[in-house]
Amino acid sequence: MMVYRFGWVLVLIICSIVRCRMAKGNYTLDSVRDVLVREEDSIIFGLIERAKFPLNANTYTQNYSNIPSFGASLLNFVVINTEAVQAKGGRYKNPEENPFFPEKLPPSLVKPYPFTQFLHAGASSININKCIWKFYIDKLLIQWFDSLGDDGNYAQTAASDLSLLQAISRRIHYGKFVAEVKFRESPKKYEPLIRAKDKEGLMKLLTVKSVEEMVIKRVEKKAMVYGKDVTLNNDDKKNETKYKVDPLVVSTLYKKWLIPLTKDAEVEYLLQRLD
């Protein structure tokens, strides 16, 4: 009986060591780039989901929502309340997650998970979601939906906006991890630029144009593959392909916004790296 019990204790100890090892993770430039590649899928599927609805402008205006004791749009309402529930469930304990309304979050109610402390101490203060929110509402939605369509599904629209915004935010803020890997690989190159607060120099040093071009081409191709209707007919009308999201919208989104904002997050992170 004693031997049996001892065996179980040993198994539990081994499991917790293995779990701890796994939680520690192993960050390399390849592994962080792999995360960005996987996030492309979430963003493209998020765009496909959002495209089920027209613009639904009432989702974004305070005048329409008119929610008692809440002076903002329905999107704000859905995001603030969903983030609050997810915060209680521990979402923002993961350093990869950054809330849109950090000032409104309740504390987590769940047992903490031992996430790897890979980033520098000040990393959590870098949150560029205000900027992401502004480009999403003022630029992306307006340029993407060229007509002012309305089908009344405002809450559903806000919910799909939120999951898309979260995927975009995760991608951009993952720049902190990319920057940390780059810094650890070549501290001697980064340190003088950080000390001199040379944003331009840092931007130049972390930029790899060939990788950016590959990302832009790949997301365009993914949008074609994921956004195509699947039928069982062999005679797919090749010339009449209609994508659920215009692949050009996806590549432009990456080129004009997601890559530049990821680089901004990288620079912001590096600037505080020696504090």
Ligand X SMILES: O=C(O)C(=O)C[C@]1(C(=O)O)C=C[C@@H](O)C=C1
Residues at the contact surface with ligand X, assessed by CB under 6 A: 33, 36, 178, 206-208, 211-212, 215, 259, 262-263, 266
CB-nearer residue toward ligand X: 47 or 158 = 47
CB-nearer residue toward ligand X: 166 or 262 = 262
User: Could you tell me the smallest distance in angstroms from the CB atom of residue 180 to ligand X?
Assistant: 11
User: Could you tell me the smallest distance in angstroms from the CB atom of residue 260 to ligand X?
Assistant: 8
What is d(CA 264, CA 269) in angstroms, rounded to the nearest whole number? 8
CB-nearer residue toward ligand X: 75 or 271 = 271
User: Could you tell me the smallest distance in angstroms from the CB atom of residue 155 to ligand X?
Assistant: 32
CB-nearer residue toward ligand X: 164 or 178 = 178
What is d(CA 136, CA 130) in angstroms, rounded to the nearest whole number? 10
Residues 6+ apart with CB under 8 A from 164: 43, 46, 47, 49, 50, 136
CB-neighbour burial class of residue 99 (10 A; exposed 0-12, middle 13-18, buried 19+): buried
User: Could you tell me the smallest distance in angstroms from the CB atom of residue 98 to ligand X?
Assistant: 16
User: Could you tell me the smallest distance in angstroms from the CB atom of residue 9 to ligand X?
Assistant: 44
User: Could you tell me the smallest distance in angstroms from the CB atom of residue 200 to ligand X?
Assistant: 14
CB-nearer residue toward ligand X: 74 or 168 = 168
> Residues 114, 23: contact at Cβ < 8 Å?
yes
Amino acid at 7: G
User: Could you tell me the smallest distance in angstroms from the CB atom of residue 221 to ligand X?
Assistant: 15
CB-nearer residue toward ligand X: 75 or 267 = 267
CB-nearer residue toward ligand X: 141 or 265 = 265
What is d(CA 38, CA 171) in angstroms, rounded to the nearest whole number? 10
